[in-house]
Structure 1
Amino acid sequence: MAKTSSDFFEKVYDIVRQIPQGKVTTYGAIAKALGAAKSSRTVGYAMNASHQYDDVPAHRVVNRNGVLTGKHHFPGTDVMQQMLEAEGIKIKDDKIINFEQHLWTPEIQF
């Protein structure tokens, strides 16, 4: 039986729920942890759809360079940045400062 996108999305959300406060991870790291390293874009689609869940900290998922590429999917102006800054992460020009210090890598799930 083929996995549906909602199954994949739920697995993405399970990982995102594990990201510690004050840390971020990337679309690619999540895809790799799920055994689907070439599915970063699908992880992005999952994150865009995640805002219906209060317990998925979508603001903690950024691109591989630490850029807040998902910020347009949050209500209001600079909400993603404000949420990250409230957790102690500094941002300049939509990019996390000292990105490597804040990077959290999920464990392999498959």
Structure 2
Amino acid sequence: MTSYYQQVYDLVRSIPEGKVVTYGQIAKLIDRPRYARQVGYALAALPAGHDVPWHRVVNARGEISRRAVSDYEDYQQILLEDEGVEFELNGRIDLKSYQWVPDANH
């Protein structure tokens, strides 16, 4: 059986460049609809040298969530902008434009 964290990582790896998903969306897609916070814990626990595009995960308002490490929010925004994701003046991403909705096979 695949661990919860591994399920999160596998799904995040499938997010196309230039798209984002929310923590809650990931939780629902792996059949744990009330585990959005745990998705954040899984991403925070990524080991060095990983290949998981964690920066493509944002909160339900289309915002970058605060991190314990300072300046990581800016780094995440730079990574997303490099992929063509645009931020509104209020710092949000228009989820209608950039949110990835996978097909049934992810």
TM-score (norm 2): 0.83
Name the structure 2 match of 1:66: 62
Name the structure 2 match of 1:86: 82
Deviation string for 1:42-74 (max 9, x for gaps)?
11111111253431000000011101015x256
Q: 1:52 to 1:74 in 2, by over 3 A?
A: farther
Contact 1:32-1:108 at 8 Å conserved across structures: no
76-85 or 57-66, which deviates more: 76-85
Which blocks of at least 5 consecutive residues in structure 2 are unaligned? none
Aligned pair 1:95/2:88, yes or no? no
SS in 1 for 2:61: coil
Contact 1:33-1:108 at 8 Å conserved across structures: no
Measured in 2, the distance between the counterparts of 1:84 and 1:73 equals 19
Contact 1:35-1:108 at 8 Å conserved across structures: no
Measured in 1, the distance between the counterparts of 2:104 and 2:49 equals 23
> What letter matches 2:42 in structure 1?
A
| Aligned-CA RMSD value | 2.3
Q: Percent identity?
A: 39
Contact 1:27-1:61 at 8 Å conserved across structures: yes
Task: Give the one of 48, 53, 59 matched to 1:57.
Answer: 53
Paired residues, number? 103
Name the structure 1 match of 2:35: 39
